[in-house]
Amino acid sequence: MAFLIGVVIFVIALLVSVMLHEAGHFLTAKKFHMQVTQFFVGFGQTLWSFRRGETEYGVKALPFGGFVRITGMTTMEEVDPADEPRSFRNQPGWQRGIVLAAGSFMHFALAFVLLFILAVGIGVATNNTTIGNVDPCVPRTVQALDSGSLTCTAGQPASPAKVAGIRPGDKIISIGGQRVGNWTELGTAIRKQPAGRPVRVVVERGGRDVALTVTPASISGRSGSYLGIEEKVFQRVGPVSGVAFAGSTFGQILSESASAVSRLPAAIPDLFAKDRAKTAAGNVSSIVGAADDAGQVVQAGGGWQFTVEALLLIIISINIFVGAFNLLPLLPMDGGHIAVLIYERVRAWLARLRGRPDPGLADIQKLIPISVGVFALLVGIALIVLAADIVNPVHLT
């Protein structure tokens, strides 16, 4: 059930993202008084719709995107002469550029706002070994540990960290003689300590190092030893720091997305490999893979902050990737239409320099073979990744 909840949350978030993308095109086109005849979520047969003014709004059967139909988007479209003055192609170049870029802008704006909310409202997970909380007792089961609200009963043993005197705010420097600098290293060091055998732990407290002796415990059904300390500290920040965090994280995710795309050709052979998660193909995913990740995140539990943070980062990453990918100068994507628009404006500028009239709109029909080829290539790659996510999914650890 928890897995299904995660998938449903992801699907709803994806539909909202699609609606916002199309709303970007719709609102800017309306702002410039272009004629917009349809605003739909999905493709295929119409399930439900209504008309307000000149625009039909509705939902179609296949929830694989959405569209806004603006009159006269290309030179190939036949337009009633009475509607031509309000057609897309009859508007100034700068207005057409804004309408085309508005979809990706909405993805970027949504991602930035969610990152800001994550930093200011939920808290940023610090990547150091400072203790956020010490569990009062040893959980009886893995489920009790993952519940996020540990309840202790009489006779239940105190957690090793509590017995040893570890306090919230302590920063663990080393365990068993092994220095640790982040939670990944700390978690690995804790898990490999033998349960029931005392181990020396050095913490930084009040600016000085304090040596403590901890006897790790074990939990039924869980591999590795247990100390009873939080693995992350979620620290809320102020609005200014929230904007800075959103900006820097946005840039990092954008860079990682570009890197993943650049590695895609080399990753394709490993999509169906048994050890896919350990290869570059482990970082390549379709919508199905992202939905599976969301389900695994909710199923894993571990406290609401961990779950919400992970879900938001999945949704944020998808929006940044889709927004950037949509701006690539390839038809039929918005970026391809923007590239054509730029070509038209450059051509018009050169014509003016030579004292010649504006050549007008570019003939999109000449680009159809290229567009079909690009579209077929993208669909082919998408289907391969989709198949891999179905038959050889990547399991989060």
183: Cα within 13 Å, side-chain hemisphere: 13
Produce one character per residue of 180-206: b if its CB has 16 or more CB atoms within 10 Å, e if not. Answer: beebeebeebbeebeeeeebebbbebe
| Residue 386 tokens, joined | 């989709």
What's at 260, amino acid-wise? A
Catalytic residue among 22, 56, 84, 185: 22
Please tell me what DSSP assigns to residue 394.
Answer: P
List all residues 6 or more positions away from 240 whose beta carbon is below 8 Å from its beta carbon.
none
Q: What amino acid occupies position 258?
A: A
Cα–Cα distances (Å) from 85 to 52, 94, 345, in that order, read 21, 16, 20
Helices marked H in 55-203: 93-117, 142-146, 160-164, 183-191
DSSP states along 317-363: HHHHHHHHHTTSS-TTSHHHHHHHHHHHHHHHHHHHHTT-----S--
DSSP-assigned letter for residue 229: B
Burial class (CB in 10 A: 0-12, 13-18, 19+), 169: middle
Alpha-carbon dihedral sign for residues 376, 70, 96, 66:
negative
User: Bridge partners of 171?
Assistant: 130, 204
Q: Give catalytic status of residue 22 as yes or no.
A: yes
Report how far apart, in Å, the C-alpha atoms of 307 and of each of 6, 39, 266, 328, 344 are.
10, 33, 32, 32, 48
Structure tokens at 261: 């795309």
Catalytic residue set: 22
